[in-house]
Structure 1
Amino acid sequence: MMEDLVQNIHMFALWMNRYLWGVPMLILLFGTHIYMTFRTGVIQQKIFQSIRLSVTKDTCAKGDVSQFGALATALASTIGTGNIVGVGTAIALGGPGAVFWTWLTGCFGIATKYSEALIAIKYRVQTKDGSMLGGAMYALERGLQMKWLAVLFAFFTALAGFGIGSSVQANAVSVVMKENFNIPEQISGVFLAALVAVVILGGVQSITKVCEKLVPFMALFYTLGCIFILIINKEYLMQSIETILLGAFSKRAAGGGFVGSTILIACRYGVARGLFSNESGMGSAPIVAAAAQTRNPVRQAMISSTATFWDTGIVCGITGLVLVSTIIANPQINAVVGNGGQLTSLAFEKIPYIGSAILAFGMLAFAFSTILGWSYYGEKAAQYLFGKKIIFPYRIAWIAMVFIGAISNLDVIWSLSDMMNALMAIPNLIAILLLSHVIAKETQYYVYEDHLDEIDQTPIPIINR
């Protein structure tokens, strides 16, 4: 009976995703990315200035955590299994062309990430104990007087966290540990849940402290492993790029043992996994950005936009090349691959002796940090709906979902996560588009009229929530 229930849930999620991730959603998401790129004067051109700001201390600002702490937490939640298993899943389901759409989502998504962070900070509020609260729910409520849509966003976010931020991550860890070290899923689940409990019960300061130390190290460690594989596959790199480009715009891939797929399928899975990875347009990362110590909304918004650059431009980009070049070098892999995690494991086996260990450590660190970052997002969404009394029960439920996710079916979890991601993104994208005039005005003043060092004197409302 339980198997039938799980199968029915899976079928329902797949049915919903056919509509949620159909042409209208692709147009809405990509359209917002492109529209906000031009509305912000192509804010991507300021990416290196934004990177410099991310490592510059802002001592004249209000907030709960440092600018870099907020960015590290956002990166922790985005640099996760979406970069490892997610890219592999996109290739397995949508063909190599999905990698191109993932990259493109990240390139234009920088403007959307900047925009959603700006309105999250501009319309943030403060509790009586001094904590900062912000995100799309407050932008919708305060900026647009659309409380009903704010409630929907918060509801979808609180639920989505259990998928994209908790169970998916735990499941990916348990699969890698089982395949590489024959560790039972139950043991992986208990171990991971215990680690998560130690950190998240300490609140946002505890989460950001761990993320500040873990994120730079784990990203470098994983990237070096990918570079080593690309060196092994160097003679296939140009063919990999050609295969990715042809797969994005034609019904068949260019050799390498790949099965052809339609352009729409490649685009769908590429955009879906791109959103899962960098979360641009989803409205998740702005929740922690709103807690940052920043002198004006634009300054932290620029810093937040760098998360998409690092996540999709660098980590996802190099992962895509690793996986496609590995399949081209070993065409038989494409015939036996069942999911993204298996594909990634086979690719890392090309590193002699320590390949499996690198992947396992990377997966554990990425997933662990994502679980930490998303626990804050989901908690603050739940707090918006039910007040501070929900925080502790939500944390306990979160820890439980880590264990449940580790022993659950991956296909069901991914399908449910895609569905919840879309339901989150829609209200957030509406907020961005309807407040685009505010974003354009703030950007013009602070960025292009050179007022980035100016302190915003607008009072921050104090609430009882």
Structure 2
Amino acid sequence: MELINTLEQAVYAVMTPISDFIWSYVLFYLLFGAGIIFTVATRFVQFRLFFHMVRITFDSRSSESGISSFQALATSLAARVGTGNLAGVALALWIGGPGAVFWMWMTALVGLATTFIECTLGQVYKIHYADGVYRGGPAYYIERALGQRWMSILFAVFLILAYGFAFSGAQANTIAKGMEGAFGVPTWATGIALVILAGIVIYGGLRSVARTAEKVVPLMAIGYFLVAMYVLVVNYDQVPAMFALIVKSAFGFGPAVGGAVGYTIKAAMENGVKRGLFSNEAGMGSTPNAAATAEVNHPAAQGLVQAFGVVIDTLIICSCTAVVILLSGVYDRMLAHGGSDSMQGIQLTQDAMADHLGMFGVGFIAVAILFFAYTSILANFAYSEINLEYLAGRHGKKAVAILRPLVLAMVMIGSVATLSFVWDFADLAMGLMATTNLIAILCLFPIALRVLKDYERQRAEGIDEPVFHRKVLKNPDQVEPGIWD
């Protein structure tokens, strides 16, 4: 045991400084900066085409042979809408104060443009598989458009480690702890149930994941939204003061709480930006994997649909968590007493919901965690499958057959184990993955701009559903033959 502890400490000593450096000094500025660049380059596409974005999101056609645009959105939301929307927002509030919510909103607004760019690229360079479902994402567009296969391999490996194993185990751990705390269900029993429920879906392939996400994700999002709206209406007299607190705190004019004693604008900004980026995954390179599976007429259309996912994930669901916490007596008590370690993360969200709704609130959060984290496990596997098939090439089916039981084993282990190390490792892998993707899309975004220009030109000509042809591109031969012909 001492040897294991010594090895773990040695790994932490190497891993933690690297992870902290990447997230604090590289990704923080790279992600936010890229979002601003893409916002300006697309001429504020997220505002100009917002209503069009909403219309095509809910007007997505079904696909008999593949995966529809809405199913692809639901799959990406399954990964994005997870326990971070509940625990992560609470943690941002505890460390950065109410002002973190403001900067989370700002990050989401520029993240819309980043998501559009990367998901449009994912669509352009997708390839068709024998099962009738497209595959694509950063690994594909980095190799095809940049010609840097070594970067593609690195990205795929980082994603599989982070999403396929670390996050799947961590999400299972969150579900198991939530069910144990709310209903007294043993963690091992939750683990077995999760393995069975997840196994049924992931053994059905990407179409099975998409169909499940299409049904479950809207249900869980609407349910959570309605409960938050009830809290908002019941406490309507406190709403103006809450928004005033958020805005004032964003610029350093607010009470310090918890670990943020004397926090400044920097504390609010850093935690809000990190939470927004971690939640909506704009620029991370994960969402394009889902976007590429959609069967659409024009890449820009799916780019816009996936961009709207940022609105759902951050501007709606994360905001719901913030509202529930900020309007609760629990938050007032935290302000009065300076917070405590026990009030971090999911505990703060649970206590806040219980303050509003009593024991129903505790059970509701446990069920919300179950749905949010379960669908994340499914989407995490889908992303891993896409990237493993890329790495394995013609041996993709055999590789995925090995991956499935390994992921399910990680789900079981995650349900009964303490996974602080796994979370930290996932942060590092995700940071490296995001850095690789951001470098790529900063080089390739002119291609996405060309695609957007073609889409808007056709709409200006009165074409309601623009159709893309690869001759629009400067290098059409980089695109898979037969897809955009």
TM, length-normalised to structure 1:
0.91
> Residues 172 and 397 from structure 1, CA distance in 2 versus in 1: closer, same or farther, beyond 3 angstroms?
same
Unaligned runs of 5+ in 2: 471-478
Unaligned runs of 5+ in 1: none
With 97-106 and 342-351 compared, the bigger mean Cα shift is at 97-106
Alpha-carbon contact 2:97-2:257 (below 8 Å) kept = no
Alpha-carbon contact 1:176-1:345 (below 8 Å) kept = no
Tell me the CA shift for residue 236 of structure 1.
4.0
In structure 2, the partner of 1:429 is: 438
CA distance in 1, matches of 2:262, 2:238: 19
Residue 460 (1) aligns with residue 483 (2): no
CA distance in 2, matches of 1:39, 1:461: 29
Residue 225 (1) aligns with residue 251 (2): no
> Residues 272 and 402 from structure 1, CA distance in 2 versus in 1: closer, same or farther, beyond 3 angstroms?
farther
Q: Any idea what SS the aligned residue of 2:339 has? A: helix
**Candidates 414, 422, 426, aligned match of 1:417:** 426
CA distance in 1, matches of 2:448, 2:235: 44
**Candidates 110, 114, 117, aligned match of 2:116:** 114
Deviations 1:3-41 (A, max 9, x none): 454455455443222201123321110011111011112
In structure 1, the partner of 2:405 is: 396
Tell me the CA shift for residue 215 of structure 1.
0.9
Tell me the CA shift for residue 393 of structure 1.
1.1
Tell me the CA shift for residue 454 of structure 1.
2.8
Map 1:291-302 → 2, pairs under 5 A: 291-302=293-304
CA distance in 2, matches of 1:10, 1:335: 25
Deviations 1:224-249 (A, max 9, x none): 22223334544543443344334433
Deviations 1:421-442 (A, max 9, x none): 2111111111211112111111
Which amino acid is the alignment partner of residue 354 of structure 2?
E
Question: What fraction of aligned residue pairs are identical, expressed as a percent?
Answer: 34
In structure 1, the partner of 2:475 is: none
Which amino acid is the alignment partner of residue 187 of structure 2?
E
> Residues 339 and 318 from structure 1, CA distance in 2 versus in 1: closer, same or farther, beyond 3 angstroms?
same
CA distance in 1, matches of 2:221, 2:118: 24
Map 1:50-199 → 2, pairs under 5 A: 50-58=53-61, 64-162=66-164, 165-199=167-201
In structure 2, the partner of 1:237 is: 239
Residue 254 (1) aligns with residue 266 (2): no
**Candidates 415, 418, 424, aligned match of 1:406:** 415
TM, length-normalised to structure 2:
0.88
Tell me the CA shift for residue 164 of structure 1.
6.2
In structure 1, the partner of 2:476 is: none
CA distance in 2, matches of 1:260, 1:184: 41
In structure 2, the partner of 1:347 is: 352
> Residues 404 and 235 from structure 1, CA distance in 2 versus in 1: closer, same or farther, beyond 3 angstroms?
farther
Which amino acid is the alignment partner of residue 460 of structure 1?
E
Alpha-carbon contact 2:256-2:263 (below 8 Å) kept = no
> Residues 378 and 328 from structure 1, CA distance in 2 versus in 1: closer, same or farther, beyond 3 angstroms?
same
In structure 2, the partner of 1:369 is: 375
Tell me the CA shift for residue 129 of structure 1.
4.9
> Residues 93 and 184 from structure 1, CA distance in 2 versus in 1: closer, same or farther, beyond 3 angstroms?
farther
> Residues 409 and 36 from structure 1, CA distance in 2 versus in 1: closer, same or farther, beyond 3 angstroms?
same
CA distance in 1, matches of 2:338, 2:100: 18
Tell me the CA shift for residue 58 of structure 1.
4.1
With 376-385 and 452-461 compared, the bigger mean Cα shift is at 452-461
With 290-299 and 40-49 compared, the bigger mean Cα shift is at 40-49
CA distance in 2, matches of 1:325, 1:431: 42
Tell me the CA shift for residue 353 of structure 1.
3.5
CA distance in 1, matches of 2:162, 2:418: 17
In structure 2, the partner of 1:319 is: 321
CA distance in 2, matches of 1:272, 1:225: 26
In structure 1, the partner of 2:449 is: 440
Tell me the CA shift for residue 400 of structure 1.
1.3
Q: Any idea what SS the aligned residue of 2:219 has? A: helix
CA distance in 1, matches of 2:303, 2:443: 18
What number of residue pairs does the alignment pair up? Answer: 461
> Residues 333 and 209 from structure 1, CA distance in 2 versus in 1: closer, same or farther, beyond 3 angstroms?
farther
CA distance in 2, matches of 1:219, 1:11: 39
Q: After the TM superposition, which parts of structure 1 deviate over 6 Å for at least 4 consecutive aligned residues?
A: none
Q: Any idea what SS the aligned residue of 1:354 has? A: helix
Which amino acid is the alignment partner of residue 195 of structure 1?
L
CA distance in 1, matches of 2:440, 2:95: 31
With 15-24 and 405-414 compared, the bigger mean Cα shift is at 405-414
Alpha-carbon contact 2:284-2:437 (below 8 Å) kept = yes
CA distance in 2, matches of 1:187, 1:222: 26
In structure 2, the partner of 1:277 is: 279
With 188-197 and 306-315 compared, the bigger mean Cα shift is at 188-197
> Residues 395 and 57 from structure 1, CA distance in 2 versus in 1: closer, same or farther, beyond 3 angstroms?
same
Alpha-carbon contact 1:186-1:406 (below 8 Å) kept = yes
Deviations 1:400-456 (A, max 9, x none): 111222233354343223222211111111121111211111112212552562322
In structure 2, the partner of 1:305 is: 307
CA distance in 2, matches of 1:109, 1:211: 23
Tell me the CA shift for residue 301 of structure 1.
0.9
CA RMSD of aligned residues (A): 2.5
> Residues 255 and 153 from structure 1, CA distance in 2 versus in 1: closer, same or farther, beyond 3 angstroms?
closer
CA distance in 2, matches of 1:346, 1:12: 36
Alpha-carbon contact 2:331-2:352 (below 8 Å) kept = no
Tell me the CA shift for residue 128 of structure 1.
4.6
In structure 2, the partner of 1:384 is: 390
Which amino acid is the alignment partner of residue 25 of structure 1?
L
